[in-house]
């Protein structure tokens, strides 16, 4: 059984917070549902515990996930980042899946460029999950904010995400979505128009 | 297709209404901030030289900032690179808010500035401010001090 993999975890919210900060992320897309809690001990890396449930394939990966900030560019009106992300853990069958458990790992790269009006993000990842299979994915996300929200305002973004999962029945899919952002809370609601599935992402930073 | 339509139409309506509401709230809040700025600038302008007005023009005077200034703290406005979203503001507020020298902190996305008021008699050096900004994930481009301007 080949995996049809992966989520857009890092593109949703910055995968590294401020020093001493915790972030909780929930994501649900056309293939999986993910919960991630990460802590940032340094400006250049974070460490998280992640559980990703592949609903149709009846297994989940529980992993320890480090993220490293490879490069950050600052400007008066923009910020851009390149991150390396990996994870090691255990893949386990769910819902009576008889395949048991096995070691799993993944590695990927995340890049984003953002102003107060425009967003561009890219994420690629490869996963190896033993007898559950392996697979790769990549996605691009573009966003536009109809107005520039100030501090503590409600920020609204119109976004579209295009993902490429070679092993999937529909290798390329498109998800228009809305991003709502206020203070430490981010909520995204979208719908995949190729493989009709809702996208629901939530991030809370504390 | 019906499933897609039934999701996308409410999504688009939600987008339009939220964007309109968000824009309204944004403008409403700016009116309030502008009033605060006006009040603060007028107060300082009567007390110090014209040079200080340029500093107060930089300062975003929230109620917390006003209260800390009224308590006798000195203010700093630092130009910050890379602050483009509310997560940025939250990070800076958290990091600087933990410092015992800091009485009030506010990151203004519109002016791209970190506004700090210290406890009476306390301060942070420019280097310390830059270092704390790095811990929050950002970079300081310049630091403007109210007390420095007043001594001119």
Residues B75-124 pLDDT 10s: 999 999 999 988 888 999 999 999 999 999 999 999 999 999 999 999 99
Tokens of A30: 């056309």
Q: A49 burial class (0-12, 13-18, 19+ CB within 10 angstroms)?
A: middle
Nearest to A18 among B21, B109, B136 (CB): B136
Direct distance between the N- and C-terminal alpha carbons of chain B, in angstroms, rounded to an integer: 70
Q: Is A205 in the B-facing interface, judged by CB distances under 8 Å?
A: yes
Question: Is the pLDDT confidence value at A62 over 90?
Answer: yes
Q: Can you spell out the DSSP letters for B99-125?
A: -TTEEEEEEETTTTEEEEEEPTT----
8 Å CB contact between A151 and B89 = yes
Percent of chain B with pLDDT over 70: 61
Other CB atoms within 10 Å distance of the CB of residue A158: 18
Please list, in sequence order, all residues whose beta carbon lies within 8 angstroms of the beta carbon of residue B34, skipping any fewer than 6 positions away: none
Q: Which residues of B touch A178 (CB under 8 A)?
A: 11, 14-15, 18
Question: Searching chain B, which residue's CA lies closest to the CA of residue A177?
Answer: B11
B81 to chain A, any CB pair closer than 8 A? The answer is yes
- CA of A100 to nearest chain B CA: how many angstroms apart? 36
- Reading the block at residue A67, the tokens are 């993220």
d(CA A107, CA A147): 36
Please indicate whether, in this complex, the C-beta atoms of B136 and A19 are within 8 angstroms of each other: yes
All residues at 6 or more sequence positions from A186 whose CB lies less than 8 Å from its CB, including other chains: A12, A13, A179, A180, A201, A202, A203, A204, B87
pLDDT of residue B7: 54
Choosing among 3.20.20.60, 3.30.56.10, 3.30.70.100, 1.20.120.50, the CATH entry for B2-151 is 3.30.70.100
Q: Which of A14, A18, A181 to mutate to test the interface with B (most CBs of B within 10 A)?
A: A18
Give residue A97's pLDDT band: very low, low, confident or very high (50, 70, 90): confident
Q: What is the pLDDT of residue A57?
A: 84
Contact B26 A147 (CB under 8 A): yes
Complete DSSP assignment for B24-45: HHHHHHHHHHHHHHHHHHHHHH
Does B78 contact chain A (CB < 8 Å)?
no
Give pTM, 2 decimals: 0.81
Q: With an 8 Å Cβ cutoff, are B18 and A74 in contact?
A: no
Q: Is the CB of B86 less than 8 angstroms away from the CB of A17?
A: no
Asked if residues B19 and A147 have their Cβ atoms less than 8 Å apart, the reply is: yes
DSSP annotation of B60: -
- Asked if B55 is an interface residue toward chain A (Cβ–Cβ < 8 A), one would say no
Strands A79-93 vs A101-114: parallel, antiparallel or unpaired = antiparallel
Find chain A residues with C-beta within 8 A of B132's C-beta.
none
Tokens coding B22? 């968000």
**CA-CA distance, B5 to B18, in Å (whole number)?**
20
Q: How far apart are CA A84 and CA A89, in angstroms?
A: 17
Q: Do the beta carbons of residue A180 and residue A158 sit within 8 Å?
A: no
Torsion of CA B139, B144, B148, B150, to 10 degrees: -160
Q: Which letter, b or e, does each residue of A12-41 get, where b requires 16 or more Cβ atoms within 10 Å of its Cβ?
A: bbbbbbbbebebebebbbbbbbbbbebebe
- Please give, rounded to a whole number of angstroms, the shortest distance from the CA of B148 to a CA of chain A: 24
B73: confidence class by pLDDT, cuts 50, 70, 90: very high
Return the CATH number of the domain spanning residue range A9-205.
2.40.160.40
- The least confident of A8-17, B12-21, B52-61, B141-150 is B12-21
- Lowest-confidence segment of A52-56, A113-117, A183-187, B114-118 by average pLDDT: A52-56
pLDDT of residue B5: 55
- Judged by a CB distance cut-off of 8 A, whether residue A178 touches chain B is yes
Domain boundaries, chain A: 9-205
Q: With beta carbons less than 8 A apart as the criterion, state whether B85 and A145 touch.
A: no
Residue B23: its chain A contacts at CB < 8 A? Answer: 146-147
Q: What are residue A108's DSSP bridge partners?
A: A85, A125
Residues B13, B16, B21, B22: what is their CA dihedral angle, to the nearest 10 degrees?
130
Chain B 103-122, residues with CB within 8 Å of chain A CB atoms: 106-110, 112
Which residues from chain B sit within 8 angstroms of residue A45, using beta carbons?
none
Cβ–Cβ gap B29/A152 under 8 Å: yes
Residue A150: list chain B partners with CB under 8 A: 26, 29-30, 33, 108-110
Q: B39 touching A, CB under 8 A?
A: no
Contacts of B4 in chain A (CB under 8 A): 191, 193, 196
The pLDDT confidence band at residue A176, using thresholds 50, 70 and 90, is very high
- Decide if A118 touches B, using CB distance below 8 A: no
Q: Is A92 helix (H, G, I), strand (E, B) or coil?
A: strand
Instruction: Give the position of tokens 């950050």.
Output: A72
Taking the C-alpha atoms of residue A54 and residue A59, their distance in angstroms, rounded to an integer, is: 6
């Amino acid at each position: 059984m080949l995996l049809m993999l992966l989520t857009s975890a890092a593109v949703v919210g910055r995968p590294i917070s401020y020093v001493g900060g915790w972030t909780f992320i929930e994501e649900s897309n056309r293939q999986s549902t993910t919960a991630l809690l990460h802590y940032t001990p340094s400006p250049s890396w974070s460490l998280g515990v992640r559980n990703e449930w592949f609903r149709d394939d009846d297994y989940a990966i529980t992993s320890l996930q480090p993220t490293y900030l490879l490069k950050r560019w600052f400007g008066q009106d923009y910020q851009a980042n390149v991150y390396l992300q990996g994870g090691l853990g255990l893949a386990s069958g769910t819902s009576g899946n008889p395949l048991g458990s096995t070691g799993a790992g993944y590695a990927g790269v995340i890049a984003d460029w953002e102003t107060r009006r425009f967003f561009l993000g890219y994420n690629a990842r490869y996963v190896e999950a033993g007898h559950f299979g392996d697979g790769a994915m990549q996605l691009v996300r573009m966003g536009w904010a109809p107005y520039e929200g100030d501090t503590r305002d409600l920020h609204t973004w119109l976004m579209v995400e295009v993902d490429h999962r070679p092993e999937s029945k529909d290798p390329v899919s498109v998800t228009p979505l809305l991003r709502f952002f206020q203070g430490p809370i981010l909520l995204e609601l979208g719908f995949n128009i190729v493989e009709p599935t809702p996208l629901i992402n939530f991030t809370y930073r504390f | 297709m019906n499933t897609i339509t039934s999701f996308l139409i409410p999504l688009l309506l939600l987008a339009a209404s939220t964007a309109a509401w968000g824009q309204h709230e944004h403008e409403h809040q700016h009116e309030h901030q502008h009033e605060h700025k006006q009040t603060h600038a007028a107060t300082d302008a009567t007390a110090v030289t014209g040079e200080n007005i340029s500093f107060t023009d930089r300062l975003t005077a929230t109620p917390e900032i006003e209260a800390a200034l009224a308590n006798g703290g000195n203010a700093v406005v630092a130009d910050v690179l890379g602050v483009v979203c509310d997560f940025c503001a939250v990070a800076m507020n958290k990091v600087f808010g933990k410092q015992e020298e800091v009485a009030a902190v506010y990151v203004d996305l519109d002016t791209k500035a970190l506004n700090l008021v210290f406890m009476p008699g306390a301060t942070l050096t420019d280097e310390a401010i830059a270092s704390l900004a790095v811990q929050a994930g950002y970079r300081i481009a310049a630091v403007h001090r109210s007390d420095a301007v007043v001594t001119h």
